[in-house]
Every structure is written in C-alpha cells, then in structure tokens.
Structure 1
C-alpha cells in the first residue's frame, strides 16, 4: 500500500491543475481499494458547502451541482466531526441524504475521511460499495493516510488556481494567503519578481565531445564571467555591508577557484564529456553531499553551490540569467533566495522578500533585517513559479504573504506602510531624549548588533549601549576560524563605535541553527545538542583566543562586558570564569593594561531560571535571551512554520519565568537585562519594565517605538497592567487585553500596525 500511496501522490503532484489532480485521485484510489465509487467533495469557503468536485462511479453530470452544508448528509458529518466515518449500511444512518442525480442509492457501504490542511478542513474523500460490509481497519487506515497526503496537494492546486486563473468553482482570480516564518519585520505592497533558476542543471544530458580544448575554453570563459558578476555584486553592496559580511562573495569566488569546483569540472571535461554535462555532474555531487547533512548551516551551502552552477550553465548556454525587469516596489520571490539575488535589484526598488525555503536565521534573513527589508521565509505552500508579475503583500510581522490582494486589503497595508514611514520620521526627534516614564523612571534602551548596518542604525536611533553583540557573525562568514588579530580588529571597531557606552559581547554561540561550514556539527536534535558554551568549553582554544581578542580590543576603552550563552548550571559557569581569568592573566602578562570586564550569564534555558540566584552570585549581571527561553519553555521550534503560531512570549509560563529571573537577580543585588524580539515589542516592553528589568536590548529598528511608548506611560500604570495580565491563563487573551488597555490610554500608535488588519 505504501508504494501505491507514493505513486498516487507523485502522479497527483504532477497534475496540471486542480481538476486534473482530483480526477487522478478518484481514479487511482478507486483502483487501489477495489471499490465501486470514489468521490472528492471540497469545501467552498464562500458558500460554506461541500461540493462534489470529482467522482468515479457516480453520475459525472452531478459534479459541481451536488453540494451540502456541514450540517447535512454523511459528507457534512465527516467534515464537521473531522474524523473518518465507516458505515455498513449508509442509507439507515439518520444523516444520510439522497441525491437523485448521483445514482447514490445503489451503494450500501460508505467510508469517508476528512481532508485537513493546517487545521482547516478542505474537503472529504469518500469510497462506496454496493454490498453491505464494514470496511476493515487496513482500508480505513489507507484512506485516512491518503487524505492526509493529498491535503497539501489539493491546497497547493487550489492556491495555484486562485493565483493564476480559476478557482475550484471556475471563479475568477481570488485573494489567497500563505503562511511562512517572519524573517524581518515590516510590511510591503508591491509586484512579485520571481527569480527562477537561470538554467536547469538537472535536465542537462550527457554528451561526448572530440574537441576537448574548445569545451575547456568555453568553461573557462563562463568561470571568468561569473567571477566578474560576483565581484560586481560585492562592490554594489559595499556601502550596505562591512568587508567581513561581503566575505560571502569571496567564498563564492573560492568555490569557483581552480582548486575547487573549477578544477573538478575541468577534470571531467578532459574525459570527453561536454562542459554542461561535466558541470551538472560535479555540482550534483556537491549538492547531494550538502543536502544530506543534518547541519542547517551546511544545508544552506547546497543552495550556494546550486546558485553558482546555474550561473555557470547560463553562460555556457550563451544566455545571461533571466533578463529580469525590476519594477518600482519589487518583491523578490524565489525558492531559495541568496544574498547575491538581493544585490541584483537596482537601489531603491526592493521593498520585500519572500523565500519558499529557509528560516528566520538564514543568511538572507540576517541581511534583510540589517537592511530593514520586510521578509517572509519558509512559505512552503506558495506556488512561487506561478506568481511572477502579480500583486503581493508581504507581512513580515506575522510571516504571511497575500497573492492577488483585494483593493481593500491593499489599501489597508498601504496605510500600514505609510504609517510606518511617518512614524519612523516622527520618532527620529526622540533620538537625543532619555527613555523616561511619566513618573520619572529611567529605562536604558540598548541594541542587539552583529552587522555593520546595525551599528549605523543604532547610532541614528540613540541607543544607550549594546546589550548583545553576536560574535558568531564574523565567524559564520569566513571559511576558517578568524585569528586572534582578525577578531581583535572586528571587536575594536564595535567597542570604539559605541565608546563610552557599554558593549556586551556574547562569547561564540554556534550550534542549533547557527553553524560554521568549516566546523560541522551533525546532530539529530541540534537545539538540545552541542551548542553555545557547551562547544567553547569543549574547545578552550577557541574560547581563550576569542576572550583574549575581546580583552585586547577593550584596552583604553574599558566599555566591554562579556556574556556567556546557554549556561545550564554553575559548573559550566565556573569553568568559563576560570578560562576568562586565565585569558586576562595572559593578556596582562603580554603588557596590555586591561581591566577585568563585567561578566554575565544568559538566562535562556529553563534550568537557569530555577538556578538564577546561584548563578547571579557568581557574575556581575544577568541577561535573558527571550527568543530561546520562550522556545525551550514552550518546546516550540520558532523556525518551523507548522508550530510557529504556538511560539508566544506572552504565554503565562514565559511571563512567570521572567518575573522569577528578575526577582532572583535583584535578591542577589545584580542587574538584569533582556535581549531578543520580546524587548523590541513596544507593548511587551511595558510589561518588562513593570517586572523590574534594568535595561532592554532590541533590534535598532524598534528602539524609537519602544522609547516613544515608555515615555507616554507611568511605571505605576505599567505595574497595574502587569498585575492584571499575570492573572490571565491564555496568551491570546493576554495579547488582546494588553492592546485594548494601551488603546484606551491612547497609546496604540506604535503597536504592530498590521495587527488591526489581522484582527
């Protein structure tokens, strides 16, 4: 049955439209189960009726005509109960409904299974037979499995129809919504420009050639032209990215080198294979190796190799990558966006990004946040190849993409975009003002940095320090561990840029969804694996070199603070402190006049919440990593679109944990800050201030909004609001109560501007 199932799904996947897909389903399922009837009913969301859309065994003239409400018939019962129904004698069931036009009365036994996609019933799959009999467990299991497999296929086919032609009832193009993962905040309304592979390597055939020298010349020309493209793109992005960030293009150039892809392809050509076939063979081998790796960062490298392979093939075929026209308000869409694709768009035209694959922590998402471009990643259901040239809305707040948006929705989001623009302009006046509440409480606002663009944006927005500098970024864009001297230069630049304000540098935090291509970590469960402090304590040589570089970089500036990630207990902390003191001694022995900087612990593992006082006794400060703490407390991978809606930092468990951390830190007389998405959410910032956090650290983009809101409220009012919300046991109710309270105070100006549309 598994083989049958696989074959049916493959055949349905290749169907040209929804009608063809449904026809294949009813034919193949009827054959596989040896039944006399197989039918598919789809739920029409406009009329809220299950409509017969395909059948094998019933009168085909009834297709599109027979329909029933969820409260009618056996099909309606399967749909509303959302579970299978197996009947020996359907006609005797009280919910049986007779439709003369189907000829249905001849069939006694009935087995129906709901078709459910993302918790939404999209239809019902039914088989029927003349003789009275109960379908056995195996048959029921097969139909349930079949409907689960087909749910995504049907939703995809429906979406494709509503994007590029007719919907399931033959209706005209309609608005459709696709869910992904929020990659970079903001909203954009614009025109989709789909970047398809410029050339398809997979379909290149083998071909023997006699003139090997001519093929080698062709390939070398293509190599040189792609190298030129990479250099040009790197130069084009020079003003937006620092040299270390542009190093990704150097990695591309190295892949093209005579000692890498270039030489391997040349070797294959010399065996008598034409250049295109040799390229396909070599790129295919590399991509397969990368894609089989468990490590998320290394899997990202497969897309880099594919990108290079496609560019080379395009030149070999004597055609440049698609001659794309970029309209004003371009929303770039691709199966896998690469940083190089961003550089192709003329300055000022790119307003949004959508990637079918990838997570909120991929290179592209990091670049997008640094450049302030609204982005949705992981929109896996989006039929991206069909949407070129159509109107799109990108909602980077909620991770949603709307195709063919209605005039009303377009107008609403256009207002959000304009509101954001005006708000950003208006809030720039706050830059020099302190973040102080109406009753005089001072709240320092710091920023999270990692890219050069973050530094500039932070200074433009009046940040009072750096609460989190992600030191892994310089490591991620190199092809080897940076030396002590290289690290020193990078850290010095960061410390000097903010001097005399404090800069909190997190020690190398790799593993999980952040890996290094030259230091692969292969694990079944990376988020609960070898990451953060666990890696660097196992490799003291990495930790010591980095700590020495930080300490030397701080000489004469004295604004460094060191932060230790993923600490789960006192033993790890003691080992890390020992290494920091050792590095400090070494640096001083070398003649550097450096003070021992304050050292802090990140509270991002539930175990650390329950040991907060023990940890606080041994360090100078604490800092909550709200992203990971929320993820671990709720057991939700925030980069997984299937469960991303369960990730909620206003969940009662998260709020209670945060209060425990603040109370524990203060009981030991130690300051506690919070960094992550939560601190940058203006409404959540009100609650964090009320809990007693000593500083908030956030994305520079959100800092003015948080400052505006905290300046418009009193600490006493914030505490009153917190007390009210701590008594609520449902995160959705918490959100709505908080937003309603702020609206009633006339403070809704900086709340997520797209939330009103969602409501």
Structure 2
C-alpha cells in the first residue's frame, strides 16, 4: 500500500482547495481499501460538532447537514477517545447512532481513525462495508496513516483560509497556529508578503559555449550588479543599524570576490560551460557541503550562498526580483529569509518577519534583533507559498505564527502592539525613574547586548548596566578570529558607552547553535558537547587573547565584569580563574595598570545548581542563564519547533532550581543576577524579585515594561504571589494564576498575549 499512499498524497497536494482534497481522499481511499464507503467528518470549533464534509458511498445530500457531538455516535467516540475504532457490526455498539439521511443502515462493519494535528483533533476518517467483518491490522494502519496525511492538508487549508465556508451555515475555522522558534522579541499584526526565490538555479541546464570571453563578461557584469545591490542595501540600512551590524553585508561581498565564489564560477566558465550553468554548478556544490554539516551555524551559510546564487542568476537572465508591493504593516514571509530581503522593504513598513527555515542564530535573526523587528524562524509546517496577502500575527516572544486570526485575537495582539508603542512614547518619563517598588525595594534592571545597536536602545530605556555582553557576536560576523587589537577596540567602545555603569562581558560562548564558520564544530549532539568554557579551556590561546583585550579595554574605566559560561564544576572554574590571573599579570607587565575586575559564573548547567555554594565561594558574583538552564532542566532543545511548546521557564522545576541558586549564592554573601527571556517577562520578573535576585538583565525592548510593572507591586504582594505559584505543579496553571493575580491588581495589560490566550 506504500505506492498507493504515495500516489494519493501527491494527488491531494495538487488539489486546488480543501473541498477538492477531501473529495480525492474519500474516493481514492475507498478504491484502495475495496470498501463501499469512505467519509470525512471535520470538527467545527464553533459548534464543537463533527460535520460530514465528504463521502463516497453515503448520500451526498447529507454533506454539511449531518453532524454529531463528541459524546454522540461512533464518529464522536473516535474523536473523543483520539484512537481508532474497528467494529465488525457497528449497529450493535451502544454508541451507534442512526442517521436516516445518510443511508448507512446497509453497512455493517466500521473502521474510524482520528485526524489529529499537533495534539488537536480536527476530524475523523471512516470506512464502512456491507458485510460483517473485522478490518485487519494492515487496513487499520493504512487508514491511520492516511488520517495523519489529511491532518496536514487540513492545517494548511486553515492557514490559507480555504477551509472557510466549509462549516455549517457557511462558517469554518477562522485561524490556525504554527509553532516556530523565537527569532526577535515583540508582537506584530499585519499582512503577509511572500518573497519567492528570484530565480531557480536547480532548473538551469548545462550548455557549451565557444565565446568564453563573452560569457566571462556577462558574469562579471552580473557580479558588479549584485555587488552594487549589496552596497545600496547596506547604505539603506545605515539609519537603522551601526556599521558593525551592516558588516553582515560584507560577508556577501566577500563571497562574490575573485578569491571565493566569483573566482570559482569564472574557472568553470573557462572550461566551456556557459555562465548560468557554471553558477549552478558552483553554488550547488557549496550548498550541498554546507547542508551536510552537523554544525548549525555552518548550515545557515547554505542559505546565504543560495541567496547570492539566485541574485546572480537573475541578472544573468536579465530579470530582476519579483515586483513586490509592500503594504503598511508588512510581514515578510519566505522559505529562507536573507538579510538583503529586509533592506528591500521601504523604511517604516516592515513590522514582522517569518522564515520557514533557519534558527535564532541566522544572520537575518541577528539583524532583526538589532532592528527591533518581531521575528519567528523555523516555522516548518507553514505553507508559506500560499499565504501571500492574508492577515498574520507574529508572536516573537513565543515563536508562534497565527494565520487568518479572528477579530478577538487581532484585537488582543493589536492592543499589545499599541501598549508597546505607548510605553515606548513614555520612555523619557520612565528612563529617569528608578526601578523601585512602592515600598522602597530597589531592583536594578540591566540589559543584554551583543551589537552596538543595542547600546542606543539600552540607553534610551534607562538601563543601569549590562548584565550580559555576548562577545561571540563580533566573532560571528567576521571571517576569522578577531585580533587582540580588534577585540580591544570593540570592548572599549562597549565599556565607554555605558561608563560608569557596569558591563558584564561573557567570555567566548560558542558551540551548540552558536558556531563560527572559520572554526567548525561538528558533533552529533552539540548542546551536550563542546561549547562555552569547554572550548576556550581547550584553546587557552583564544581565552587569553580575549581576556587580555577585555582587561586593556577597561583601563581608566574600571567598569568591567567578566562572566564565565557553561561552568559545570569547580575544576573548570579553577582552570579559568588561573588563566584570567595569568592574563592580568601579562597585561600589568606590559604597563597597563588595571585592577582585577569582578569575576562571575553563569549557572546554566543543572550540575552547577547543586554546587552553587562551592562555586560562589570562588567568585565575586553569580549570574543565571535562564534560557540554557531551562533547556537543560527540561531536556528540550529551545531551537527545535517540534518541542517548542515544552520549553517553559515557568515550569515548577525551573522555579525551584532558581530559588536554590539564589539561596545558595546569598548564603555565601554573593550577589546573584539573571539574564535571558525570563528576566524580560514582566510577570516572571515579579517572581524573580520575590525570590531575591539582586538584578535582572534583559533585552532592551522589554526593560520599560518590566520597570513599569515592578514599580506597581510591593514586596509583600510579590512574596505572596511567589508562595502561591511555588505550590503549583503545572506551568499552565502558574500562567493562569499570574494573570488572575495581576488582573486583580489592575496590572494584567503587561502579561504576554500568548499567556492570555492559553489561559
């Protein structure tokens, strides 16, 4: 039956709409299984009833009219139990219900399978036969497989809106939700603009040419045109980001160089291949090599190479990119977004980004965070080519896309967007005010930075320091390790920009999903592999150069703090401290008189939670990395959209671990801070303050909202709320409890929209 299944799937995927797809399924499944009847019932969420939507064998006049609740009939039983039902004589089952309009009294045997997509029951697929018999295991397995395929078809139909009008009284499912990976925080409501590849390299044929010089001339003209495009786009973004961020366009220019991709294509042309074929050959070879790599960062470079190849091909074919109209509130959607696509949207119109492929460390995600554009990456189930022009919601906090949102949902998110705008307008007032509770408790709010664009936003929002400066970002946008002198200049600019406020610089944290193109790390399980301090301890030459650059950059400023990532035990800490002292001695011997800065440890690994007192004894401060700690405690890859809904920093185990860390650090007299998405969530920040964290560090975008909420909540209220949630064993109930408590205080407007929806 595999061949039959494959043919049915191909035919269904080619259907023009859901009605046609359902018709194909019931017809082909009935033929394949040799049964007299095949029917599809879809669950109408408005009436919560299973409605007959397609059939071969029953009376077709019953389509859209016959329906049953989850507690009615055999179809309702299959849907409510969420498992197949195989009956030799259906009418003898106590849940059997007879519908005279269907004419099904002639059919004895019944086999039904639930249609489920991402845990949500969407309908039931049924086959029936006249003779009494038990369907065998192979037939049951085939129907279950077919229902799984149908689930994807229905989900796509929801997304594109083609399911509308198929429900009773012309009503249908109005919205669909797709889960991806958060790329850049924020929420957006707008219109989808789909960017399709400008040219298809895969269909370019081989062709021999005699005039090689003419082909080289054509290719060089295309090279110059794309180079010019890159420079124009970089200049266009000059007002939105600093030179350091625009350096990502330099990566594209380097690819076009004669010593790189450009030179390789010219070499193939000289063998007699025409320019388009030579380009296809070189780009395909590079893409294949990148896509086969285990390293996540290097796999992302395949998208960059493809984008360059398509642009060159468009010029060689004398075609430009598709002519796009960008409405106000444009949400850019593509299979693989590239940095250049962002620059082509007129300034002021781009409100959100959606990429089917890619991770939170794609170049486009880095740029989106720098520009403050809500972004979701890795939305693998989204039928992106069909969503052009429809309404979309981008939830960059939780990594969700909602297509065809209903009025209530649109209003909820529009209110959030408007609240963010209003809060932004009131920043001048908040910026000069301390983050202090009504009863006088001070809670310093710091920012996480990595790009120089973060500095301006942080200062506009009144940050009191930098809780985490990601030093890997300058490494990621270069093609080689930056020298000590280059690092010194970058770090000095960061330290000087915030002086006299403290700046916490994390030592190079690569590995996992953050790798360097010039320093590949190929592993089966990178998140449990060679990353963070493990890499730099194995390469003391990298660690020492970076530490020396940090120390020299702090001369005369003395606002540096050094943070060590991914520490899992005291032996790693002792090695790192030894190297820091060695670098400090070398710097002083060279005549740079700087005091030894405070040194801290990141608590990201569960082992460190249980050694918190031993670690705290050897350092000056503790900083919790909430993103990784949550990931490791829950054994959930936070960049994997398949399990994204399991990643939850309000999980009871996470809350209990955080309390252990605070109590342990304070027992040794050491301050403890927290950085990551959790610290930037206003409701979670109330709990963190109650736990005793001495400072919170977050994305600059979230800082005003956190400050506003903490200024409204006194410490007894925060402690009471913490005590209440620490007794709850379910994260969803914790969300609801937080929301209800804040609402009772008149403070619910800063709870995330996704929390409101879930509750």
Q: CA deviation at 1:266?
A: 2.6
Q: 1:741 to 1:408 in 2, by over 3 A?
A: closer
Structure 2 residue ranges without an equivalent (≥5): none
Q: For 2:117 and 2:19, locate their aligned partners in 1 and report how far apart those are by CA, in whole Å.
A: 18
Q: CA deviation at 1:459?
A: 1.1
Q: 1:749 to 1:60 in 2, by over 3 A?
A: closer
Which stretch shifts more, 406-415 or 430-439? Answer: 406-415
Q: Check the 8 A contact 1:427/1:705 in 2, yes or no.
A: no
Alignment of 1:221-620 (within 5 A): 221-620=221-620
Residue by residue, what CA displacement relative to the aligned partner does 1:407-460 show, whole Å, maximum 9, x if unpaired? 554444333322221122224212122222222222211111001111111111
The reply on whether 1:176 has 2:190 as its aligned counterpart is no
Q: For 2:212 and 2:172, locate their aligned partners in 1 and report how far apart those are by CA, in whole Å.
A: 52
Residue by residue, what CA displacement relative to the aligned partner does 1:482-531 show, whole Å, maximum 9, x if unpaired? 11111111111111111121111111111111111122222222222221
Residue by residue, what CA displacement relative to the aligned partner does 1:340-386 show, whole Å, maximum 9, x if unpaired? 11111122121222222233343323322222222222333332222
Residue by residue, what CA displacement relative to the aligned partner does 1:161-212 show, whole Å, maximum 9, x if unpaired? 438x755779489732322333333332322222111122223333444443
Q: 1:540 to 1:146 in 2, by over 3 A?
A: farther
Q: Check the 8 A contact 1:18/1:168 in 2, yes or no.
A: no
Q: 1:93 to 1:401 in 2, by over 3 A?
A: same
Which residue of structure 2 aligns with residue 661 of structure 1? 661
Alignment of 1:190-205 (within 5 A): 190-205=190-205
Which residue of structure 2 aligns with residue 705 of structure 1? 705
Q: Check the 8 A contact 1:339/1:363 in 2, yes or no.
A: yes
The reply on whether 1:689 has 2:689 as its aligned counterpart is yes
Residue by residue, what CA displacement relative to the aligned partner does 1:700-744 show, whole Å, maximum 9, x if unpaired? 112122222222222233223222222222222222222322332
Q: How many residues align?
A: 758
Q: For 1:14 and 1:325, locate their aligned partners in 2 and report how far apart those are by CA, in whole Å.
A: 27
Q: CA deviation at 1:473?
A: 0.4
Q: For 2:106 and 2:171, locate their aligned partners in 1 and report how far apart those are by CA, in whole Å.
A: 36
Q: CA deviation at 1:326?
A: 2.0
Q: For 1:258 and 1:166, locate their aligned partners in 2 and report how far apart those are by CA, in whole Å.
A: 57
Q: For 1:738 and 1:161, locate their aligned partners in 2 and report how far apart those are by CA, in whole Å.
A: 34
Which stretch shifts more, 479-488 or 636-645? Answer: 636-645
Q: Check the 8 A contact 1:178/1:382 in 2, yes or no.
A: no
Q: Check the 8 A contact 1:178/1:381 in 2, yes or no.
A: no
Q: Check the 8 A contact 2:412/2:753 in 1, yes or no.
A: no
Which stretch shifts more, 746-755 or 247-256? Answer: 746-755
Q: CA deviation at 1:58?
A: 4.2
Q: For 1:502 and 1:236, locate their aligned partners in 2 and report how far apart those are by CA, in whole Å.
A: 33
Q: 1:174 to 1:441 in 2, by over 3 A?
A: same
Q: 1:290 to 1:268 in 2, by over 3 A?
A: same
Could you state the TM-score of these two structures normalised by the residue count of structure 2? Answer: 0.94
Q: CA deviation at 1:461?
A: 1.5
Residue by residue, what CA displacement relative to the aligned partner does 1:59-115 show, whole Å, maximum 9, x if unpaired? 555444443332332222111110011122223222233445545344333222111
Q: For 2:683 and 2:653, locate their aligned partners in 1 and report how far apart those are by CA, in whole Å.
A: 18
Q: Check the 8 A contact 2:356/2:377 in 1, yes or no.
A: yes
Q: For 1:353 and 1:321, locate their aligned partners in 2 and report how far apart those are by CA, in whole Å.
A: 19
Secondary structure, aligned partner of 2:354? strand
Q: 1:707 to 1:160 in 2, by over 3 A?
A: closer
Q: Check the 8 A contact 1:177/1:400 in 2, yes or no.
A: no
Which residue of structure 1 aligns with residue 144 of structure 2? 144
Which residue of structure 1 aligns with residue 85 of structure 2? 85
Q: CA deviation at 1:755?
A: 4.7
Secondary structure, aligned partner of 1:324? coil
Q: 1:558 to 1:353 in 2, by over 3 A?
A: same
Q: For 1:210 and 1:623, locate their aligned partners in 2 and report how far apart those are by CA, in whole Å.
A: 66
Secondary structure, aligned partner of 1:236? helix
Secondary structure, aligned partner of 2:706? helix
Q: Check the 8 A contact 2:43/2:51 in 1, yes or no.
A: yes
Q: For 2:172 and 2:88, locate their aligned partners in 1 and report how far apart those are by CA, in whole Å.
A: 42
Q: Check the 8 A contact 1:230/1:252 in 2, yes or no.
A: yes
Q: CA deviation at 1:668?
A: 0.9
Q: 1:746 to 1:77 in 2, by over 3 A?
A: closer
Q: Check the 8 A contact 2:377/2:399 in 1, yes or no.
A: yes
Moved over 6 A (4+): none
Q: 1:129 to 1:752 in 2, by over 3 A?
A: closer
Q: For 2:151 and 2:707, locate their aligned partners in 1 and report how far apart those are by CA, in whole Å.
A: 46
Alignment of 1:638-677 (within 5 A): 638-677=638-677
Q: For 1:206 and 1:109, locate their aligned partners in 2 and report how far apart those are by CA, in whole Å.
A: 58
Which stretch shifts more, 749-758 or 544-553? Answer: 749-758
Q: For 1:347 and 1:520, locate their aligned partners in 2 and report how far apart those are by CA, in whole Å.
A: 36
Q: For 1:169 and 1:317, locate their aligned partners in 2 and report how far apart those are by CA, in whole Å.
A: 50
Q: For 1:505 and 1:399, locate their aligned partners in 2 and report how far apart those are by CA, in whole Å.
A: 27
Q: Check the 8 A contact 1:162/1:174 in 2, yes or no.
A: no
Q: CA deviation at 1:47?
A: 3.3
Residue by residue, what CA displacement relative to the aligned partner does 1:380-406 show, whole Å, maximum 9, x if unpaired? 333222232333333333433343444
Q: Check the 8 A contact 1:162/1:173 in 2, yes or no.
A: no
Question: Please, what is the CA RMSD of the aligned residues?
Answer: 2.4
Q: Check the 8 A contact 2:64/2:167 in 1, yes or no.
A: no
Q: For 1:288 and 1:590, locate their aligned partners in 2 and report how far apart those are by CA, in whole Å.
A: 48
Q: Check the 8 A contact 1:166/1:173 in 2, yes or no.
A: yes
Q: CA deviation at 1:238?
A: 2.5
Secondary structure, aligned partner of 2:162? helix
Q: 1:594 to 1:712 in 2, by over 3 A?
A: same
Q: For 1:173 and 1:288, locate their aligned partners in 2 and report how far apart those are by CA, in whole Å.
A: 43
Q: For 2:699 and 2:49, locate their aligned partners in 1 and report how far apart those are by CA, in whole Å.
A: 46
Could you state the TM-score of these two structures normalised by the residue count of structure 1? Answer: 0.94
Secondary structure, aligned partner of 2:437? coil
Q: For 1:743 and 1:46, locate their aligned partners in 2 and report how far apart those are by CA, in whole Å.
A: 27
Which stretch shifts more, 352-361 or 20-29? Answer: 20-29
Q: CA deviation at 1:593?
A: 1.3
Which stretch shifts more, 528-537 or 12-21? Answer: 12-21
Q: 1:52 to 1:601 in 2, by over 3 A?
A: same
Residue by residue, what CA displacement relative to the aligned partner does 1:260-319 show, whole Å, maximum 9, x if unpaired? 222332333334433223322322222222222222212211111111111112112212
Q: CA deviation at 1:44?
A: 2.6
